[in-house]
Structure 1
Amino acid sequence: YQAFIYENVNHGFHNDTTPRYDKTAAELAWSRTVDFFKENLK
């Protein structure tokens, strides 16, 4: 398994309806999620 820590962002940083949203971290996290799915869900 691989875990990622997103420095200097708050819980919920991927929720774009709140002030906690961090576009850069959210896009990186989403691309990593999609890559994981492509690799492991065949």
Structure 2
Amino acid sequence: MPTRKEILMVVKEWVEKAEDDYRAAVHLLSMPNSAWKNT
């Protein structure tokens, strides 16, 4: 059974990954529409 500290470390990693994904999505969606024409 993992310790409380180990569980919190994993949760912290998940939260950091989610924050990175959120920042990437905000950046992508804030690009001008002209940037989407080539996709």
Per the shorter chain, which TM-score range? 0.3 to 0.5
Report which structure shows greater RCO (CA 8 Å, sep ≥6): 1
- Structure exhibiting the larger radius of gyration computed from Cα positions: 2
| TM-score, length-scaled by structure 1 | 0.45
| TM-score, length-scaled by structure 2 | 0.48
Greater helix fraction, Structure 1 or Structure 2: 2
